[in-house]
Amino acid sequence: MSRQIIHTDNAPAAIGPYSQAVRAGNTVYLSGQIPLDPATGEIVSGDISAQARRSFENLKAVCEAAGGSLAQVVRLGLYVTDLGDFAAVNAVMGEYFQAPYPARSTIEVAGLPKGAAFEVDAILVL
């Protein structure tokens, strides 16, 4: 099976040896998005809600570059440095997704790239 690399300037460039997303057949595997401003490459200022919102905007941009939308996401992985932010992250997710929601996991981690407090990755089916 061939792989198609997905890239958009509307989301931050990869900060390591990986692609923003890879399409294999009708499935798109989206790399983690942290709250980097695509224009500056810097973490956005603000609380966990601002970080989650920027991360979901970045994810949305990559979905669109792949020819899809957030409505076609079947699985999300959410990573937070403080599980106490769970409710705030849920509220922001509710701004981007409606029922029926994608499958999801939320994992507290010791740290994220560039000192981010939130990261999201996804699987999209076109």
**Is the link from the previous residue into 100 a cis peptide, with omega within 30 of 0?**
yes
pLDDT of residue 29: 98
- Listed in order, strand segments (DSSP E) in the chain are 3-6, 21-24, 27-33, 73-80, 103-108, 118-125
pLDDT of residue 1: 76
pLDDT averaged per 10 residues, the chain (length 126): 95 95 98 97 97 98 98 98 98 98 98 98 98
Q: Tokens 């970045």 map to which residue?
A: 58
d(CA 112, CA 109): 7
CATH number corresponding to 3-125: 3.30.1330.40
